[in-house]
Amino acid sequence: MTTYHGTSVAELERSVGCIVGQTRPPEEFLVVVDGPVPEALDAAIGRAAAEHPALRVERLPRNVGSGLASARGLELATGDFVARHDSDDVSLPTRLEEQMRRVEEHGLDLVGSAMLEFRGDPDTVLGLRSVPTSHEAILRRLPMNNPVNNPTSVFRRELALAVGGYSDLRYMQDYDLFARMLAAGARAENLAEPLVLFNAGDDMIARRGGWRMLRHELTIQRRLRAAGVIGTPRLAVNLVLRGAFRLVPRRLLGPVYALLFRRSQEVGA
């Protein structure tokens, strides 16, 4: 799990609680603190480390972004598999048990799940972010969009490191990593049921648009081509389609995002 100065104490405590309370708790819980954080948040991280023996803290001297912070976590982790969890999200209690059961039964290298998106309060569910479930469907989705919801991902650490781990991308570093793993032969599946509540507030939506994101879009498309996932014609098509989304006016970005990626779903439905 990575955390940074924008995480609230309440979010951090909620996030830690949902991981240590898993029906299959992790053998190791590594929290990478991405740069300096407010005193109250730092104290909450210290309390969590004191209360939970499996929790280890790595503090980075400056904010480097989610990609490099995740890369540091991947380097320091010692388990065969790594589960990603964001500090403002909520993993449902059976998440790790269900995903590791699928890994063990099907010999997988990468597994994710659908997720429920919320704004502010986990009880305020906005909708379901679904994903392709079979390995074949994941490969079909890969050239167009990330087929695995990063906040739900569990993956084989050795294979992730073998393909270069997380890159220094500021955005879409998960898409880049999963593309390289799948291109290298990783076996992947997604669970259809949502196992994570994802905080999809206004800030998250705003970060997905604008000219800056268009530049990052060009970078990820070039990386997909370098990995052999797409060719130049597909790169051009993706830049037109995905680039058009990046340039949607900010006031319309939320509704367009919901139309493209989210469908109505209530918790427990």
How far is Cα 100 from Cα 27, in angstroms, rounded to an integer? 13
Tell me the pLDDT tens digit for each residue of 65-118: 888 999 999 999 999 999 999 999 999 999 999 999 999 999 999 999 999 999
How far is Cα 260 from Cα 35, in angstroms, rounded to an integer? 34
| Domain boundary assignment for the chain | 2-261
Report which of residues 29 and 265 the model is more confident about: 29
Report the length, in residues, of the chain: 269
Which top CATH class is 2-261? alpha beta
Q: What is the DSSP string of 150-209?
A: GGG-EEEHHHHHHTT-S-S-SS-HHHHHHHHHHHTT--EEEEEEEEEEEE--HHHHHHT-
| pLDDT for the residue 157 | 97
pTM of the model: 0.88
| pLDDT for the residue 168 | 84
pLDDT band at 252 (very low <50, low <70, confident <90, very high): low
CB-CB contact of 14 with 199 (8 Å) = no
Model confidence at 56: pLDDT above 50: yes
Segment 23-36 mean pLDDT: 96
How far is Cα 123 from Cα 33, in angstroms, rounded to an integer? 27
How far is Cα 115 from Cα 90, in angstroms, rounded to an integer? 10
| pLDDT for the residue 164 | 96
Model confidence at 169: pLDDT above 70: yes
Sign of CA dihedral 204, 208, 211, 213: positive
pLDDT band at 245 (very low <50, low <70, confident <90, very high): low
